[in-house]
Amino acid sequence: MLDNRLRPIIDPVLNRAGRSLAKLGVSANSVTWTGFVIGIIAAFAISQHNYYWGLILLLISRLFDGLDGAVARASEKSDLGGFLDIVLDFAFYGAIPFAFIIADPAANALAGGLLLLIFYINGASFLTYALMAEKRGVDEARRGSKSLLYTVGLAEATETIAVFVLFCLFPAWFSMIAYMFSAIVLITTITRFMLAYRSLR
């Protein structure tokens, strides 16, 4: 929901940094992998109750996630790059709730498991709709220069990162926040189902 509003503010900064990195010979795929590795280290820190370190590494990871597209736009975009970006993003988004489950299984397992289930269903709807829409040549929902067609919703990248930040700042409230965000992601999934029924018939 907030991605489109933040993009005009963030993109110019990222694009300048991306052009600088591209001139240095840094590839977009290496930026993607670096961001992912930092994200997994963040998840490990969280699983060991190092929530503030996890928060710092999490934010650095997402900075790299924004930079990879900027580097690709300044050099050469590829289908492999788009594939890596999506798959590693999904892995990161699953790793953070899982880290909180490991940190406190008794308190967090049920809420974290529900959130992962909703993430799974939402991810399937996102990817399948993108595939079917591209097959039909639907492109009006495309936002920016993306490898896949992105559909808007209540829960997008900005909202997800904001929730992860809340997890790290208030780990004792993980379950309550996770339940609330599960409902928001579910609404996003339902609206995508409605969009699919309307546009893919």
CA 141 to CA 152: how far, in whole Å?
8
Q: What's the pLDDT tens digit per position in 127-148?
A: 888 888 777 766 544 444 455 5
Task: Tell me the whole-structure pTM to 2 decimals.
Answer: 0.86
Vertex 46: Cα angle to 42 and 176 (nearest 5): 120
Domain range for 125: 3-199
Q: What's the pLDDT tens digit per position in 67-114?
A: 988 898 888 778 888 899 999 999 999 999 999 999 999 999 999 999
Residue carrying structure tokens 């929902």: 141
Domains contained in the chain, number: 1
The CATH number that applies at residue 112 is 1.20.120.1760
Q: What's the pLDDT tens digit per position in 26-75?
A: 899 999 999 999 999 999 999 999 999 999 999 999 999 989 888 988 88
Quote the mean pLDDT of the chain: 87
